[in-house]
Chain A
Amino acid sequence: MSWYALPANVPWLTLAVVIPLSGALLVALTPAVARRVIKQLGVLASVITLALVLVIIGGFQQGVGNLHLQFEELRQWVPAVGISYHLGVDGLSLFLLGLNALLFLIAVLVTSSAAPRLKQFILLLLILEAATAGILLSLDLILFYVFWEAMLVPLYFLIGVWGEGQRVYAAFKFLIYTVFGSFAMLVAILAVAAITFAQTGQLSFDWTVLVQHPASGVWHLPLNLGEIGIPQLLFLGFALAFAIKMPLFPLHTWLPAAYTASPIPVVIVFAGLVSKLGAYGFLRFNLSLFPDAAHSLGPALAVLATTGILYGAFMALVQTDLKRLVAYASMSHLGFIGLGIFAGNLLGIEGALVQMVNHGVIIAALFLIVGMIERRSGTRDRAQLRGLGASAPAFAALFLVISLAALGLPGLNGFTGEFLIMLGAWTAFVPMAVGAGIGVILAAWYVLRFYQGSFQEAPPQPAGFGEMRVADAGVLAPLLALMIVIGVSPAFFPAAVEATVKALPVLLR
């Protein structure tokens, strides 16, 4: 894809982490009363980050580099215990990095400059952006873990302080779930490194090293309770952390509370990006470090993913609160991504990668729409909204495009990923593909009912619903553009990441 070659002596990826952090520092130094300056600083930092990330994407060369990694940066960090500062980008992380920068820009843009404690809000958003970028770029497992946990703290405060309803409860529940999973992952990380150390004598937490020495062996349970493969055990350690973050059924119970409590700018990045980091973790670590375990445990996880698709869809059907509806829709769609990943074949994984970007774009747009509706009408209750299309036709038109993308209409982006995933699932396990198909039908049901119910039937209620403004449309524009571009050139994304996906260890076994 590469359109140009970037100079190699610039730490491009470090910049992607450092620029948001510098923005946060500048915001921290600005007096809290200078609200406009604070917001402009936030926008500026996000715009620069987005520009930088686009430059990186443009300069990415497919099929080049050690393990297809590019812009690698490797420095010692804590050499005594084999921890390094190792960044790199490949087909798995490239487009998510772009999504990251885009969604954070939108989140900052839609933050009202009259919001309470604006300074701290923007500050935490920028720190969160740095952490999520770090997660996508880290190639050292400890570094990854540090960013993974660092993401948690700003997110916790963004929900706990600026949220609505049971915000403190929701934030705490999310926090407890996540740290529990993270710690399982930390133990697995230590064990992976220890096992590799025993095999090779090389002390390292480096993904590029570990990926070449897949763990093996069997652990005999005490008291003759049987035996369990060590790769399977380690796989589960990582899987717990990622399954909670995604979330995979039945570890999703924190999700409705957390998404509903989050303010709109936060839920955009939370549902649009953070949830995908769980899926990314599966690809980067579970499928790469433990390919055998991925094959043996994949079917079970695919069942959970399919259950999640159906569960999320049914729950979305019965919601009256639009924000909760979109929250469950998000969960249902993430089930598709999980299904593609656990299908363990090229089509499924490519579909999952494409769908990760699609899901981020669609869910962010849906939450934006919900936020706009709430701001105009003062309610999110489906029963109190009717016929809004009459007073806001342009709003209705944009919303229709987003709805169609969400339900997977061919020609828009949602279709591309879902189709690939279903093809992959079909070759792996037919019943799951059927379940996923039912999920698509249900999605059409709840999305269209949302659209028709609130925008079509007359008479309009509440009266005086405001039309789409230029600023609102401007925020939606990049998302809509992506929906159409990905929809009409469906081969673009899969082709751009193909080299990395084909080299995934899980596909080589």
Chain B
Amino acid sequence: MTINLNGIGIDYGAILPELIVTGTAIVVLFLDLIIPARRRGWLAAVSIAGLLAALVASIPLWGQSRAAFGDTVVADSLAAFFNVLLIVISILTVLISPRFLRALDLDYGEYYILVLGATAGMMLLAAATSLMTIFLGIELLSISLYVLSGFARTALRSQESAMKYLLLGGFATGFLLYGMALIYGATGSTTLRGIAAFTTASGLGASSNVLLLLGIGFLSVGLAFKASAAPFHMWTPDVYEGAPTLVTTFMSVATKSAAFAAIGRVFIATFPSIASRWYFPLALIAIFSLFIGNLVAITQDNLKRMLAYSGIAHAGYILLGILPGTAEGFSATLFYIAAYAVMNFGAFAVVTALGAGGDRTADLSYWRGLFYRRPFLATVMTIFMLSLAGIPPTVGFFAKLFVFRALVDAQIWAPLIVAVIMTIVSFYYYLRVIVVMLAAPDEAAVEKERVGISTGTVIGAAAAATIILGIFPAVVLNWATHAASVHF
């Protein structure tokens, strides 16, 4: 049997960024074989070069609307928006990696390959317009991250973290696949466009189609798991805590961004005609995330766990922007994702930078008097905490403002009130970090080691971006609005 591939729209240009990242991963794989161990820094350099090339290749996709490969992927502004975001996160991750990999005695080339693989998966997920490609993207990123979580092979916690992530992740994938199968069964199509056409055509029938609704439900469970939204968040604190902080830094922001790209495409673009059906469960997930994330974060004495719960809470805020189903809400969501990426990456990067100080550096007690021992790290951490709490002039403030405004305009009151109250609650645990850093140190200053040029630059840049975007948010908001407009 011969298969005619001409009619399905093979268009490598549309997935050029993904191809470049994947290609770079393969190049690094082979380079790792020939480069001597002490020159592994070159692997980081090659990875960054590849990522930069992919970044450049993503820019022409802006403003396009190129469906390719039988309508399974699309090259549009939304994909370009996420490509740029994910690639930048990836570049920053690789930039701070070599120093800490050496410090943790984990300097293996596989690390870069896995980061690149996960990035490619996330980019694919953001561009996916078919259930099949969504699944491909999720698996590619998940498998890379499973391995990365357990990358500290000798540390028991890291192994435990990888095991938990793998088992629960596999379970979530099962839900995801089952949901996809049901949706295919109900609509007879795997492409989002086909599914959307079916639901629109069948009108009210679609909103009482049990098979379809069940499918959407299962699909949502799988996606909410990746976005670590409650009540599908159970893995998050343990995995974030156990995984090497470097990996947590990467996955806490990148995975969430990619998952929300898929959630946006599924709910905003595919099922707007049955919004009344998914509104309530989605609102419930958002409210759950806000409650659980913010309330449990208060009780955490480990910064990685605290940031994990804060990440759950932020998943709730991001979901709130999807609820109205408006262009305004979706662009607020995209802005929030970008803002969250900047500030949360920065916060975790500070934890990473302190990580060389020993095993318990993520415990809040270690941060006592940090202002006096490590003024730079303490200052930038203050900026990230203020931003996560949503206090101006930081980007976190505008992120919340835009989401809240979209809710006010859509007259969605109950989730808004929960979000506002929970934001006030969140002040407590974010500001507590600042208070602890300010407290007089118990003993005299002990450490003198420096942060390193590349890490210092990355963290400083994240802090600067947090403030600059908090003063001039209009540019990024315009990008987000344009990216969101592809589905309106």
Q: Residues on A close to B: CB < 8 A?
A: 76-81, 142, 145-146, 149-150, 152-153, 156-157, 160-161, 168, 171-172, 175-176, 179-180, 183, 186-187, 190-191, 193-194, 197
Contacts and interface: CB of A to CB of B under 8 A. Distances in A.
A146 B424 CA distance: 17
A348 to B, nearest CB: 33
- 3 smallest A-B Cβ distances: which pairs? A146-B392, A194-B408, A78-B474
A215 to B, nearest CB: 13
B435 A172 contact: yes
7 contacts: A78-B473, A80-B477, A149-B391, A161-B438, A190-B404, A190-B408, A194-B408
Interface of B: 371, 382, 386, 389, 391-393, 397-398, 401-402, 404-405, 408-409, 420, 423-424, 427-428, 431, 434-435, 438-440, 473-474, 477-478, 481
A160 B438 contact: yes
A179 B424 contact: yes
B401 A183 contact: no
A197 B391 CA distance: 25
Contacts of A156: 434
A161 B375 CA distance: 12
Nearest to B438: A160
A146 B397 contact: yes
B477 A78 contact: yes
Contacts of A168: 435, 438-440
A183 B423 contact: yes
A250 B466 CA distance: 36
Given A78-B474, A191-B408, A142 B401 contact: yes
Given A80-B481, A172-B431, 4 more contacts: A78-B477, A145-B392, A149-B391, A176-B428
A175 B431 contact: yes
A79 B473 CA distance: 10
A77 B438 contact: no
Contacts of A80: 474, 477-478, 481
A106 to B, nearest CB: 26
Most chain A beta carbons < 10 A, residue from B391, B392, B409, B420: B392
A132 to B, nearest CB: 14
Contacts of B401: 81, 142, 186, 190
Nearest to A156: B434
Contacts of A172: 431, 435
B333 to A, nearest CB: 14
A191 to B, nearest CB: 7
Contact of A79 (B408, B428, B474): B474
A160 B440 CA distance: 10
Given A160-B438, A179-B427, A77 B392 contact: no
A285 B59 CA distance: 45
B391 A78 contact: no
A244 to B, nearest CB: 13
A153 B408 contact: no
A415 B141 CA distance: 73
B409 A194 contact: yes
Given A78-B473, A80-B474, A183-B424, A153 B438 contact: no
Contact of A146 (B389, B393, B431, B474): B393
Given A160-B438, A176-B427, A152 B405 contact: no
A153 B474 contact: no
Contact of A149 (B392, B408, B473): B392
Given A160-B438, A172-B435, A149 B420 contact: no
Contact of A150 (B392, B431, B481): B392
Contacts of B435: 160, 168, 171-172
Given A161-B371, A172-B431, A176-B428, A77 B474 contact: yes
Given A81-B402, A172-B431, A194-B409, A150 B478 contact: no
A240 to B, nearest CB: 11
Nearest to A195: B408
Nearest to B473: A78
Nearest to A159: B438
Nearest to A160: B438
Contacts of A197: 409
Contacts of A180: 424, 427
A160 B391 CA distance: 18
Nearest to A79: B474
Contacts of A176: 427-428, 431
Nearest to A191: B408
Contacts of B404: 187, 190
